[in-house]
Amino acid sequence: MPPTAQTRLRLALTEDVPDLVSSNFEYDRTYLTRSTASDVDPVSLRLGNRKDIAGKVQRPANPLPYFGAIPTPDAWGRRIIEAKLGAPLNGLPESQYLLHAGSVRVGALDVRSDASAPPLVAKDSWDTLPDLVEAVDLIERGQPVPPGLGNIYVQGASLGGARPKASVRDEHGTLHVAKLSSRSDRFDVPAVEYATLRLAAKAGLRVPSIRLIDVCGGHVLLSRRFDRFGSLPGDRTPRGDIRFVQGHATEGAREHRIPFVSALTLVGCDEMDSRSMSYADVAACMRKYCRRLLAYDGVAELFKRMIFNIFVSNNDDHLRNIGFLWDAELQGWRLSPVYDVLPQPSLASERFQHLGVGKSGRLATLDNALTRLDAFQLSMSLACDLIADVWEAVRQWRDAFDGFGIDLRESQKVASAYRHIDDIASQELRRRLP
């Protein structure tokens, strides 16, 4: 069963078309009386004293013209909406991107023109995948999408990122992200991302349930939406985060939406300034906005993810690709399972991450990563143990890919992305590591 909508907030945008000038927000008074109410945005829209904020118009606490937690579509979603409305690249006011992004967007929020407006949904069973693959090809070639393939305008518009993707439900009715191939791909991206996520799980990182399926002669990666979970009447919300990672819908269960924000929201910077931020900045924000119990383990895993990204040359590790979920049981924000981990083949001996790694900036080496252990509150011994966990998994990546069923030719195309520990650690550090 779908979740029941409730008004959480009223959002007003001031636009100088197509630019967004400013925004303001007011919590719904009825929502504030609910015991289950949570911060929409832990930085700009904290609940605090509910009596004080009732009926009060609020503005972003950071220099952004909008609230970071509002689920705006990313590059791919905007492209879908522009194709739907016949608009040029970035040619629509922000309000139109918000309203046309569909009701299966990430997190607990939907955006509608008013409280009586129906949700924007479409048939989303996984038997729509062949149509989605065809529609993506048409959009990438700049050709019109016929009415029979119009589901792409709803299923594909709400998710983040620049690559083709859509929301679909599996045979159990569980919501997934379907990650598709692009005409410009140099290798089988869905297959390689699938195998790399499996590798991340071997390294001890939390990864959502995933599977790789064949559609129209190509691969599609299905990744379970960790911002949804189902419960039967009378069920108690399970403690911990197992519901964020695995499981599927049960007949008669009600689907619940879990609040989600990205590190871009926590850090509070403009997307254009993301490259000046670092993993240490994210760790500091986690200690500020996450519950202490959740922050300690989360910061250690953040460090381990940084190490994994260095080993596999995933340099798309920007702030939007680090997420946080609201844990209703523990009443705090926690690091979400890892997502969007895609190796980038390179012949360069010196490589860089998107975010800052250590005192040498974005330089992707283990020595650099160990220069800011204070930010992660890790001892050198524990940090080396975490590196050893990652190396133990990554050093066997070829055998792992073969075991995951990845074609040898695809493995060879991305081989240069996977780095040997000797290439990213000094001799002095190497003596401390396995």
Q: What is the CATH number of the domain that holds 309?
A: 1.10.1070
Please say which residue of 169, 188, 221 terminates a domain.
169
- Shared domain for 57 and 37, answered yes or no, is yes
Answer yes or no: is 246 within a domain.
no
Q: Evaluate if pTM is beyond 0.85.
A: yes
Contact partners, residue 271, CB within 8 Å, separation at least 6: 264, 319, 320
Answer yes or no: is 127 within a domain.
yes
- Shared domain for 382 and 291, answered yes or no, is yes
Task: Kindly report, residue by residue over 377-434, the tens digit of the pLDDT.
Answer: 999 999 999 999 999 999 999 999 999 999 999 999 999 999 999 999 999 999 988 7
- Shared domain for 413 and 346, answered yes or no, is yes
Q: 10-residue block means of pLDDT along the chain (434 residues)?
A: 63 80 83 82 80 80 66 88 93 90 88 84 90 96 94 90 93 93 97 98 97 96 92 58 54 80 89 90 95 88 99 97 90 93 97 98 99 97 97 97 97 98 96 84
Answer yes or no: is 100 within a domain.
yes
Q: What confidence score (pLDDT) does residue 121 get?
A: 86
Please say which residue of 117, 145, 169 terminates a domain.
169
Domain, as residue range, for 379: 258-431
- Shared domain for 52 and 84, answered yes or no, is no
| DSSP character at residue 135 | H
Q: What confidence score (pLDDT) does residue 94 get?
A: 87
Answer yes or no: is 311 within a domain.
yes
Answer yes or no: is 301 within a domain.
yes
Answer yes or no: is 253 within a domain.
no
- Shared domain for 35 and 139, answered yes or no, is no
Q: How many domains does the chain have?
A: 3
- Shared domain for 424 and 389, answered yes or no, is yes
- Shared domain for 151 and 24, answered yes or no, is no
Q: What confidence score (pLDDT) does residue 370 get?
A: 98
What letter represents residue 246's amino acid? Q
- Shared domain for 121 and 22, answered yes or no, is no
Answer yes or no: is 177 within a domain.
no
- Shared domain for 332 and 385, answered yes or no, is yes
- Shared domain for 364 and 381, answered yes or no, is yes
Burial of 37 (0-12, 13-18, 19+ CB in 10 A): middle
- Shared domain for 414 and 303, answered yes or no, is yes
Task: Return the closest-CA partner of residue 335 out of 311, 300, 382, 309.
Answer: 300
- Shared domain for 52 and 91, answered yes or no, is no
Number of H helices, E strands in the chain: 17, 11
Q: Is the alpha carbon torsion for 4, 237, 302, 61 positive or negative?
A: positive
Answer yes or no: is 214 within a domain.
no
Please say which residue of 169, 197, 230 terminates a domain.
169
